[in-house]
């Protein structure tokens, strides 16, 4: 298999194939090896860091294409979690039932993660600008800041700081920031 490693690395270096299919064809032209062996060897080289495989990107020309692509799954998950928080906080009982635990869980996610996550996605729309741990930590820290500022702001309004006003304000902020982040990610991809 050492020979196969060398052949694959030489082809990647000299001919720079555009995709894995082209790489496999070039390797099969030079060495009589099964497709499974080539695949296993390419994955092994990728694991060692000698070959970098990237998922093919299909250009999205329309916003609706981007909205229905895998790249916007985070947006739909954020909207669903926000709506679930609305429903659980407004309609589930506070204590005494198993549904109350769902209420606490979704409320926790709404207050401690989603505002900062959407703000982070807005400020850093490119995937490679931060790794996942930095993005998560930044999201939690910013969520605490946003939630505290919302509470402070609401305490000075005529509506006051109540569960309903906090829920509506935080939910609105999350949805607006998610829409802005989605738009920025779409423009960054273009």
Residue count (the chain): 190
CA 128 → CA 48, 75, 124, 125, 185, distances in Å?
21, 18, 9, 9, 12
CA 37 → CA 5, 11, 28, 139, distances in Å?
11, 16, 11, 43
Pick the more confident residue, 135 or 47.
135
Q: Contact 17/23 with Cβ under 8 angstroms?
A: yes
Place of tokens 């916003």: 63
CA 78 → CA 58, 87, 137, distances in Å?
24, 14, 17
Whole-number pLDDT of residue 6 = 83
Pick the more confident residue, 112 or 40.
112
Whole-number pLDDT of residue 57 = 57
pLDDT score of 78 more than 80? yes
Averaged pLDDT, 37-51 = 82
Cα(118)–Cα(166) distance, integer angstroms? 17
Highest mean pLDDT among 63-72, 122-131, 178-187: 178-187
% of the chain exceeding 90 in pLDDT: 47
Cα(94)–Cα(98) distance, integer angstroms? 10
pLDDT score of 2 more than 70? no
Whole-number pLDDT of residue 55 = 57
Whole-number pLDDT of residue 143 = 96
Q: Give me 7's structure tokens.
A: 């052949």
Number of H helices and number of E strands within the chain?
A: 9, 0
pLDDT score of 40 more than 70? yes
Q: How much is the pTM?
A: 0.67
Averaged pLDDT, 92-102 = 85
Whole-number pLDDT of residue 111 = 94
Whole-number pLDDT of residue 124 = 93
Whole-number pLDDT of residue 150 = 95
pLDDT score of 23 more than 70? yes
Rounded (10°) angle between helices 163-189 and 114-123:
30
Cα(30)–Cα(185) distance, integer angstroms? 42
Cβ neighbours of residue 178 under 8 Å, at least 6 residues apart? 75, 78, 79, 82, 118, 121
Averaged pLDDT, 40-62 = 73
Cα(40)–Cα(47) distance, integer angstroms? 10
- The pLDDT tens digits of the residues spanning 116-165 come to 999 999 999 988 888 899 999 999 999 999 999 999 999 999 999 998 89
């Amino acid at each position: 298999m050492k020979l196969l490693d060398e052949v694959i690395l030489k082809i990647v270096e000299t001919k720079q194939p555009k995709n894995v299919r082209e790489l496999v064809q070039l390797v099969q032209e030079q060495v009589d090896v099964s497709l499974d062996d080539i695949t296993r060897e390419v994955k092994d080289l990728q694991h060692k860091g000698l070959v970098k495989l990237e998922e093919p990107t299909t250009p999205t020309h329309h916003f609706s294409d981007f909205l229905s692509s895998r790249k916007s799954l985070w947006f739909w998950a954020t909207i669903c979690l926000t709506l679930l928080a609305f429903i659980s906080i407004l309609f589930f009982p506070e204590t005494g039932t198993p549904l109350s635990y769902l209420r606490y869980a979704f409320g926790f996610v709404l207050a401690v993660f989603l505002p900062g996550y959407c703000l982070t996605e807005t400020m850093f729309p490119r995937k490679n600008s931060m790794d996942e741990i930095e993005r998560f930590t930044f999201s939690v820290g910013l969520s605490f800041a946003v939630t505290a500022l919302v509470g402070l702001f609401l305490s000075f309004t005529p509506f006051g700081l109540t569960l309903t006003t906090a829920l509506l304000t935080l939910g609105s902020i999350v949805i607006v920031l998610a829409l802005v982040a989605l738009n920025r990610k779409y423009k960054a991809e273009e």
